[in-house]
Structure 1
Amino acid sequence: MSGGTAHLLTALFVAAAMGYQSRRSATDLDATPRTTVTFDELLGVRHFSAHTLNYSTLLLEEDRGILYVGARGAIFALNSSDVADGSHRTIHWEASPEKQMDCLQKGKNNKTECFNHVRFLQRLNSTHLYACGTYAFHPLCASIDADRFRLPSHFEEGKEKCPYDPARGYTGLIVDGGLYTATRYEFRSLPDIRRNLHQRPLKTEESPLHWLNDAEFVASVLVQESKDSPVGDDDKIYYFFTERAGEETTSFFDKNQVARVARVARVCKSDVGGKKILQRKWTSFMKARLVCYIPYYEVLRSICSLDGGGWASTVFYAAFTLSAQWRTMEASAVCRYSISSVQHAFEGPYMEYQDSARKWSRYDGAVPEPRPGSCITDHSRRKGYNSSQDLPNSVLDFIKLHPLMFEEVKPAGGEPLLVKKSVAYSQLAVDRVRALDGRSYDVLFMGTGDGWIHKAVVVGSGIHIVEEVQVFGDQQPVESLVISHAQRSLYVGAASGILQVPLASCARYASCYDCILARDPYCAWDGRACRATATADSTGLVQDIQSGNEGCRSSSGRGSLPWKNRTVLQGDDVLLPCDQHSNLARAVWMLNGSEAPGTGQDRLRVGVDGLLVTDTLPQDSGEYRCYGEERGLRTLLAAYSLTVLPELPRGPTAASRPHAASQAASDMKVAYVSAIVALVVLCAVLSTVLLYVSCLEKRKGKYVLGEPRPASVELQTVSANCLRKGRRGEEEEEEEELTYPDGCLRIIPGEAPTAATSPVKELPAAVPPLPPPPPLPAELTNGVGALPNVLRKMNGNSYMLLQQQEEPLVSPLYSASFTEELSKILEKRKHTQLVEKLDESSV
């Protein structure tokens, strides 16, 4: 069991001890992406960037075909159909030199903080946009004419609408002309939820209790609960954030450490504050804890919502990461919440702060009427309470002291949809897609902290990750995600620029089985190719989101494949490559129609990249087929015809070429005599050098002959027939050490010889060179030359396959170094699942 899985199981055990039950294990929750798409394999991606940074504030207006982008010192208007077409418009909004100097004098960083970071950008009305920026720690806001797209001559003070610090958590909405924002506004101020651009500005209460405790805001969502409401309810704005907690159950791991918990708070849109108590303060503010049922996955990172055509069907998706208690592990969790579960928490018991114990506990006393924190409804109006200023003082006093609810907001199904180790999700976006089976599926796009997008479909109470895509070559957090249904695109904002990524790349799935097993709601098989369902008539299309294994008529996922011939010598090792495109597939090998005994057979080793047959025997000859088995389906991936020859083929016989044989024998005698003479001369030279060195050491102390050389490797053939030391005499040994064209290599310890210190001594010019051995037949190859340059692991042996192509092998000593090759390989395989259980004995 890996360390990460052990940590997750420990967390689930702690969850059970705290009363949180889960029906699935940590390994079930930790879904593996089915396919991995690296940056070099991206298709149809468009990129926009200018001479600035931090393209993190996005506003998509589908009807106008514009994607507005707020960046550092600039606002861009991009063509939403193609962000890279060059038709964009730009507003330059840099902080003035005076404000930058003032920012420096405050001790801020002139490389990151003393700029104008645009943090807010939304539609104000039919003609204008509203934007706010940090402006070098002196926030400003501006109303921008959308048609002219230029800054106004007059700016508004932004200290109550936008944070000073560009790194501070912040969220904002414009609802019916009112600006609802949440952050730390002023320099060293407390966190606050405020309403501006309204005839009744409001904020949260600070005394005698702080309603917000060191809060970091993540998102805000408008839920129009007044529409078709049977009780005449009001629209509400929900805020999601993380804050320090005071509940008695929050310090499970460390009694001395203050825990941080996720919260959801709400206010009513029609709230106008109290008349005498809570003047210019919210009278409807309430907050509750948001749990994901894995202890201390409490750092809320992102929220996205779907309403499904009506507010009553609203769901929230939330991404969490581990809090400070888990410093040795990186992991994320994704939970789903319904609007009804949020309402249930706000309709339950209150909590009260106990001064003596300095903590919050359940309040069991009397509750005044109308219910504190609720919006004005028809029931309230019938009793004469037409606005929040009509509420009695007892209700307002109760609200001041009881903003926290006792009930927690629980996730749908009582457990996370996903717990992913070694990943830090930074952003979420969700789309609802109607599949061919008539059901609607939620598709999640989850951005990571190192520049990847995980695309997943929610099936029942779990998540199937369709693919992981590396959208940025340089590691950087995904900071914004916006979905365009009209363009069928996902817009990704990050520090370096904006990406427009297709919602689906159906052409990647080359066969029916690939298309069906992907379980991508955007794609379906039409009998010839996998194509997008939005651009094709649904007649004749095949798709299976629920089980992912039905709809293909062929018995094998791919038709007949061309056979590849492999011929090797008895005793050689042969590798039959089989590239699995899916991280969820299992390799199954068939030998002459029967499944190859991969386990329990020492000479047959099945790995993620192929079948390795060691010490081949004539009975190993036959037809080998490789299948990828996934969800009960088998897809044919490779087919080989292997022939094992009993002995090394020889060249022309001595009888057919007597003159050549006699000439070769004469040449060999001359070569041996010359070699003996050269060795005698070399011994004399070495004796003279050693005598000279010993004299120098006596006179000058220590002396080092030559420069130290780093350890390297010497590449020789894997084949046992290429070097048969100990089996033949010196003549055959020198003959067999030449490179054969089958491309077999093995790695043995040693030092790579250089040109200056080559161990091969030149023979005298008068001596003719040794005759080369007869070449092997072209089909004598053990398959090692058929794979790309990757580090392969075959259950117990690790092989480095260099320059694996069908053409003649070129020595890697003349290209990249062995260390560079290893680095490239390991980086490429970083996000690829190699084997289910790593063999610790492998080298």
Structure 2
Amino acid sequence: MPVFVLMYIWLTGDFQTIFGVNLKDTPTLGSKNTPRLLSEDIMSGGFEHQVHQNHSVFLYQGDSEEFYVGGTDFVIKLDVDDYHIIEKYSLKTTQQKQCQKGPCENVITVIEKFQDSLFVCGTNRLKPQCWTLFPSVNNQSHEIVESYVGIGISPFVYTQNSLSLTVEGDLYAAAPLDADGRSLQFRRKAGSRTNVWMYDNWVSEPTFISASWVERKDDPDNEKIYIFFREKNSDHSPEADPWISRVARVCKVDEGGSKRFFQNMWTSFLKARLVCGFPEESLYFNRLQDIYVMHAENWHDTRVYALFTSSWNSTAVCIYTIEMIEEIFENSTFKGYDKDIPQPRPGTCVKKSKGLPRATVSMVKDYPEMTEWVHSLHYTAPFYISSNNYTKIAVDRVQAADQRLYNILLLATDSGKIHKVLEAGSEPLIISQTQLSNSSAIQAMKLDSKKKKLVVGFSDKITTFDLQRCQEYNTSCADCVLARDPYCAWTTSGCTPTVTGGIQNIMNGEISVCSTTEKESQRVGRTKRETVSPSPLNLRTVHSVPQNVPFYLSCPIDSYHAVYSWEHGSHISPCLQMLSNCLHLIPSMAPENYGDYECVSKEKDYIRVVKRYQLTEQRIPEEKIDNQRYNIPCTMNDASALCHQIVWIVILQVAVWRILR
């Protein structure tokens, strides 16, 4: 190892650049903490913006298949199948013509279906405005019927924090009340019910992440709206995290207090700390980043998937149920309060909140925080931890061939990737990583669970990511089963979207489920349960190479959960990973280096030969050997950049080999 480090320092800065940059995001072979499969899908097809967007917002309702996109000065309705524009509406304001300085655009920040119309809000050149858009008579475009002041619904600039939610004809929103971004609170802003808002002392510099209505069909008067946010920590000690993540709730039927006390204020607001981390070590991910709520028929089973980041550059996913959250709100003591709790209990939903006793409302006003914390389903640790910087999360529920339901986490990174993570038992499995863009981060994404697609928005484009990418595991039954992808099953047609009777093993990926007739031919000298690819043994690439020159062999990495090795006679050498290739480097060809080579991968009990080579000796005159010494062939379909890197590595290995010899 010291020799290698020394030789690395001797080489030029050019080597360091080539060797380092491209390996940055490459997974480590054999590690279960990295994606099993890497794929490239650099935004083919979709809708291209004429001008790059700094911010975009989606409204996508899978049932109606209506898909609206809001950008700078426009709202468009797209056909999500072929991305042609169905309707387009320009929302440039007349003030923009006179704009001399400052943000002159109208960046759309809110699109909601509200009271049978399309409700749109934007920054409107630092004067937030909202519009109601109705279909015109010919039903081909929209027309503005009314406009409203948008303060408290849309931020003044798109970078400010905001959120919106519509529930049964009522609009809930959080947005700054002044241009500097302060006075941020969650309010019922419009609709059939009374407008209500928060008491300023309830939160400290909040960043609202998401709000969700959880329906109770058998008890609608007890329905709540849950608000997920982070706020500044009141503990300013050096070891304390600056942020605390929270879940709060308000009752849908809450109309505020009486005229004499707490009028137009939430009388049901309660909040609790949302914990994700390692409680036994007092180590927590405290910065809530994104939320996805997976609704269930029974409200108790509704799941909350929360994405957190930490001060040590890691991200985590923790999972909660509404039942767990309700348990804290219904039974915890109130932080800082040690007297008898008044009746009805603070936070109770009542249809006539204006008639609540003053003692109950005073408790909400002065002691809204629960003493106990909301812990995750897995309690002692997050469900999933990663060094990737995830920014968004969605979760799809998939019925596999065994008729069981499995959840798939779709995580967007800050570098334009989508990770597909299987939730099956307590152990996550990163099924795949797909690079959707090399140039921009994902601004918005919406899941279409019915069509099994993810609609993704970038600054320059909107595209669709197909979740049923079964062709990527189509080499064999074993390859399809090892993927453990509930979207895909092995059938007589290959690895295809899941159908009843297809072959899968989602829980552990054991290939024993592949029938004998579908297993590949067994390899001589190996156990019966170990199999290889169906390629005939004599199908090999032949290279004629002179003695005393460096040479390399390469085979593609099909699974990063496999272990690769090179076999040459009775000698087995480990794989040298370079990007998505497995290399075998020969510093200087000698007689013992000629012969047959096999690149072999092993994943669980599945062993296969990925590639075969035969090296034969090329006879050349002695005087030409020096000129051939570093003539490393790059004829194996490798990219030129990869070949360039391999040249450097071979030169380095030759130098090290000479020193050691």
TM-score, structure 1 normalization: 0.66
Aligned to 1:48: 48
Q: Distance in 2 between matches of 1:791 and 1:588?
A: 20
Task: Check conservation: 2:576, 2:582, Cα contact below 8 A.
Answer: no
Aligned to 1:788: 639
Report the CA distance shift for 1:91/1:606 in structure 2 as closer, same or farther (over 3 A).
Answer: closer
**Quick one: which amino acid aligns to residue 282 of structure 1?**
W
User: Is it true that 1:346 corresponds to 2:336 in the alignment?
Assistant: no
Q: Distance in 1 between matches of 2:309 and 2:402?
A: 34
Deviations 1:553-580 (A, max 9, x none): 2243521152122333444443222211
Q: Distance in 1 between matches of 2:268 and 2:457?
A: 34
Report the CA distance shift for 1:38/1:614 in structure 2 as closer, same or farther (over 3 A).
Answer: same
User: Is it true that 1:67 corresponds to 2:67 in the alignment?
Assistant: yes
Q: Distance in 2 between matches of 1:615 and 1:29?
A: 31
Task: Check conservation: 2:454, 2:467, Cα contact below 8 A.
Answer: yes
Deviations 1:455-506 (A, max 9, x none): 21112123211111221231x2212211113433211123223112212221
Task: Check conservation: 2:634, 2:643, Cα contact below 8 A.
Answer: no
Q: Distance in 1 between matches of 2:342 and 2:98?
A: 52
Task: Check conservation: 2:403, 2:500, Cα contact below 8 A.
Answer: no
Q: Distance in 2 between matches of 1:187 and 1:624?
A: 68
Q: Distance in 1 between matches of 2:413 and 2:401?
A: 30
**Quick one: which amino acid aligns to residue 305 of structure 2?**
Y
Task: Check conservation: 2:133, 2:145, Cα contact below 8 A.
Answer: no
Aligned to 2:111: 121
Deviations 1:236-292 (A, max 9, x none): 11111110122x5x84xx15x772111111100000111132111000101111111
Aligned to 1:204: 198
Q: Distance in 1 between matches of 2:30 and 2:341?
A: 44
Q: Distance in 1 between matches of 2:346 and 2:31?
A: 39
Aligned to 2:307: 319
**Quick one: which amino acid aligns to residue 591 of structure 2?**
P
Report the CA distance shift for 1:605/1:141 in structure 2 as closer, same or farther (over 3 A).
Answer: closer
Aligned mate of 1:92, from 90, 93, 97: 90
Q: Distance in 1 between matches of 2:203 and 2:97?
A: 30
Q: Distance in 2 between matches of 1:787 and 1:796?
A: 12
Task: Check conservation: 2:109, 2:121, Cα contact below 8 A.
Answer: yes
**Quick one: which amino acid aligns to residue 599 of structure 2?**
C
Task: Check conservation: 1:54, 1:494, Cα contact below 8 A.
Answer: no
Q: Distance in 2 between matches of 1:737 and 1:339?
A: 73
- Cα displacement (A) at 1:54: 4.0
Aligned to 2:36: 34
Aligned to 2:535: 560
Aligned to 2:435: 470
Q: Distance in 1 between matches of 2:612 and 2:436?
A: 34
Aligned to 2:424: 459
Report the CA distance shift for 1:395/1:560 in structure 2 as closer, same or farther (over 3 A).
Answer: same
Task: Check conservation: 2:31, 2:560, Cα contact below 8 A.
Answer: no
Aligned to 1:504: 468
Q: Distance in 1 between matches of 2:325 and 2:644?
A: 49
Q: Distance in 2 between matches of 1:346 and 1:169?
A: 26
**Quick one: which amino acid aligns to residue 419 of structure 2?**
H
Deviations 1:405-424 (A, max 9, x none): 11111111112122211x22
Q: Distance in 1 between matches of 2:635 and 2:31?
A: 38
User: Is it true that 1:798 corresponds to 2:617 in the alignment?
Assistant: no
Q: Distance in 2 between matches of 1:292 and 1:306?
A: 18
Aligned to 1:489: 453
Report the CA distance shift for 1:605/1:152 in structure 2 as closer, same or farther (over 3 A).
Answer: closer
Aligned mate of 2:162, from 135, 152, 170: 170
Aligned-residue RMSD, C-alpha: 3.1
Q: Distance in 1 between matches of 2:328 and 2:452?
A: 37
**Quick one: which amino acid aligns to residue 200 of structure 1?**
T
Aligned to 2:604: 631
**Quick one: which amino acid aligns to residue 207 of structure 2?**
E
Aligned mate of 2:444, from 471, 480, 498: 480
Aligned to 1:363: 337
Q: Distance in 2 between matches of 1:87 and 1:629?
A: 49
Aligned to 1:133: 122
Report the CA distance shift for 1:99/1:366 in structure 2 as closer, same or farther (over 3 A).
Answer: farther
Aligned to 1:267: 250
**Quick one: which amino acid aligns to residue 203 of structure 1?**
W
Larger Rg over CA atoms: 1
Aligned mate of 2:213, from 212, 217, 222: 222
Q: Distance in 1 between matches of 2:89 and 2:634?
A: 59
- Cα displacement (A) at 1:371: 0.5
Q: Distance in 2 between matches of 1:434 and 1:182?
A: 36
Q: Distance in 2 between matches of 1:611 and 1:739?
A: 20
Aligned to 1:145: 134
Aligned to 1:610: 583
- Cα displacement (A) at 1:589: 2.7
Q: Distance in 2 between matches of 1:142 and 1:606?
A: 56
Aligned length: 596
Aligned to 1:547: 508
Task: Check conservation: 1:338, 1:412, Cα contact below 8 A.
Answer: yes
- Cα displacement (A) at 1:334: 1.3
Aligned to 1:160: 152
Deviations 1:540-599 (A, max 9, x none): x2122211232342243521152122333444443222211222221123334x5x3326
Deviations 1:341-383 (A, max 9, x none): 211221233444xxxxxxxxx433221111011213xxxxxxx
Deviations 1:513-563 (A, max 9, x none): 332222211111224422122xxx433x21222112323422435211521
- Cα displacement (A) at 1:55: 5.4
Aligned to 1:82: 82
Aligned to 2:269: 285
- Cα displacement (A) at 1:427: 1.1
Name the % identity. 28
Report the CA distance shift for 1:45/1:581 in structure 2 as closer, same or farther (over 3 A).
Answer: farther
- Cα displacement (A) at 1:296: 5.2
Query: Once superposed, which parts of structure 1, at least 4 consecutive aligned residues long, lie more than 6 Å away?
Result: 27-30, 604-607, 792-797
Q: Distance in 2 between matches of 1:543 and 1:411?
A: 30
Q: How does 1:354-503 map to 2 (within 5 A)?
A: 362-376=336-350, 387-414=352-379, 415-421=381-387, 423-474=388-439, 476-503=440-467
Give the match's secondary structure for 1:395: helix
Q: Distance in 1 between matches of 2:31 and 2:608?
A: 27
Q: How does 1:300-339 map to 2 (within 5 A)?
A: 300-323=288-311, 326=312, 330-339=313-322
Aligned to 2:525: none
Give the match's secondary structure for 1:499: strand
Q: Distance in 2 between matches of 1:515 and 1:364?
A: 59
Q: Distance in 2 between matches of 1:100 and 1:374?
A: 52
Report the CA distance shift for 1:557/1:77 in structure 2 as closer, same or farther (over 3 A).
Answer: farther
Q: In structure 1, list runs of 5 or more residues that go unmatched.
A: 1-26, 353-361, 377-385, 651-720, 722-731, 747-781, 802-840
Task: Check conservation: 1:181, 1:195, Cα contact below 8 A.
Answer: yes
- Cα displacement (A) at 1:442: 0.9
- Cα displacement (A) at 1:297: 2.4
**397-406 vs 340-349, greater mean Cα deviation:** 340-349
Aligned to 1:193: 186
TM-score, structure 2 normalization: 0.83
